[in-house]
């Protein structure tokens, strides 16, 4: 079933698990993620990015998630969230579409501008009883930035004092932090950098809202567990879902080439199953 994010955050805090926030991009990934939550009778966040909204259409992807959550995942508790909203308009449109949580990602802007835009989004969200996530610090993605993060982490990490000021000024409900976590595919081949757990501890001491670990694909179970113990309540998984989809589809297409299969449902079904297995494992890793 579809549920407000505040309820599953509360459940996570009480039962001491972190919520997996899984990116969906089409029907197949939605069936895989929601199917995993259903089999585990678990709570999970399904999130879409602006890129997915451009690809599928906001109404289409929203209805897919809502309908699958309602009809094919009755024992699961699923919240719908906008991941990395860069435009205020995306925040507004997703709230109108029925999301219970939105992210305003203005982390590339100078601190004061980040505060101003995030606060605008938070105020709008709260007026509609929706939660808002902000981001402070730089979560890198490009290879050169990742190398620079290894050499000079302090350039990128979330400053604990600024984090306190950011939360106080914006009133965000959840905060995405940079603690050595990185986005994207590059790290999957070259090894994810380690998390700066002491830094996370310093942030936790200054900030009360649930912390969000972006770019968690490829981070070890052990490190994720430690991050969970230090206040991370949401763990984002995107890259591993996309990789799993691609690998499974490549295999299916190779087999279809050999045996002449042309039914797209038979070609795509293994991808749903592969994503489901991945997400079940992640939900377990995060403590449910």
From residue 55, give the alpha-carbon distance in Å to each of 24, 25, 58.
Answer: 12, 8, 9
Query: 95 or 212, CB closer to Zn ion?
Result: 212
Segment lying near Zn ion (by CB under 5 A), choices 28-36, 143-151, 155-163, 207-215: 207-215
Is the CB of residue 60 less than 8 Å from the CB of residue 25? Answer: no
CB 181 to Zn ion: min, Å: 9
Specify the stretch interacting with Zn ion by CB under 5 A; choose among 186-194, 210-218, 242-250, 271-279.
210-218
Return the residue nearest Zn ion (CB atom): 214
d(Cα 239, Cα 70) in Å, to the nearest integer? 26
Residue selected from 119, 199, 214, 282 as contacting Zn ion according to rule CB under 5 A? 214
CB of 239 to Zn ion, least distance (A): 10
Report yes or no: 237 and 212 within 8 Å, Cβ to Cβ. no
C-alpha closest to that of 241 among 276, 268, 212, 267: 276
Q: Which two tokens stand for residue 184?
A: 């994207």
187 scored as a contact of Zn ion (CB under 5 A): no
- With respect to Zn ion, which residue has the nearer C-beta, 199 or 214? 214
Query: Under DSSP, is residue 135 helix (H, G, I), strand (E, B) or coil?
Result: strand
Task: Give the whole-angstrom CA distance, residue 47 versus residue 23.
Answer: 5
| Shortest spacing between CB 236 and Zn ion, in angstroms | 5
Instruction: Decide: is 81 part of the binding site for Zn ion (CB under 5 A).
Output: no
Piece of the chain touching Zn ion by CB under 5 A; list 67-75, 116-124, 143-151, 213-221: 213-221
Closer to Zn ion by Cβ: residue 121 or 272:
121
Distance of CA 54 to the CA centre of its chain: 18
- Residue appearing with tokens 């999970």: 44
Residues 29-58 that bind Zn ion (CB under 5 A): none
Whether 285 is catalytic is no
Given 83, 173, 238, 285, the catalytic residue: 83
Helix axes 111-127, 88-97, angle to 10 degrees: 20
| First-to-final CA distance of the chain | 17
Stretch that binds Zn ion, among 67-75, 118-126, 195-203, 212-220 (CB under 5 A): 212-220
- Please work out the total of residues on this chain that contact Zn ion, with binding judged by CB under 5 A: 1
Binding site for Zn ion (CB under 5 A): 214
Q: Which residues are catalytic?
A: 83
């Amino acid at each position: 079933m579809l549920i407000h994010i505040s309820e599953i955050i509360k459940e996570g805090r009480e039962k001491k698990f972190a919520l997996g926030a899984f990116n969906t991009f089409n029907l197949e990934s939605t069936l895989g993620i929601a199917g995993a939550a259903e089999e585990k009778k678990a709570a999970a966040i399904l999130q879409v990015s602006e890129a997915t909204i451009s690809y599928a259409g906001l109404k289409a992807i929203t209805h897919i998630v809502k309908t699958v959550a309602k009809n094919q995942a009755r024992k699961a508790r699923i919240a719908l969230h906008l991941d990395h909203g860069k435009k205020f308009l995306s925040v507004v449109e997703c709230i109108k579409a029925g999301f219970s949580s939105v992210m305003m990602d203005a982390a590339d802007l100078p601190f004061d501008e980040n505060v101003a835009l995030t606060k605008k989004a938070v105020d709008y969200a709260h007026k509609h009883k929706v939660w808002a996530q902000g981001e402070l610090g730089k979560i890198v993605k490009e290879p050169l930035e990742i190398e620079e993060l290894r050499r000079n982490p302090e350039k990128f990490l979330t400053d604990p004092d600024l984090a306190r000021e950011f939360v106080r000024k914006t009133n965000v409900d959840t905060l995405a932090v940079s603690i050595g976590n990185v986005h994207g595919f590059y790290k999957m081949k070259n090894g994810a950098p380690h998390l700066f757990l002491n830094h996370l501890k310093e942030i936790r001491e200054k900030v009360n809202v649930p912390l969000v670990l972006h770019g968690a694909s490829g981070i070890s179970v052990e490190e994720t567990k430690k991050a969970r113990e230090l206040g991370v309540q949401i763990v984002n998984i995107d890259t591993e879902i996309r990789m799993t989809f691609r690998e499974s589809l490549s295999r299916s297409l190779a087999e279809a080439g050999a045996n002449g299969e042309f039914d797209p449902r038979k070609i795509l079904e293994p991808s749903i199953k592969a994503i489901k297995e991945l997400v079940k494992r992640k939900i377990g890793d995060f403590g449910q």
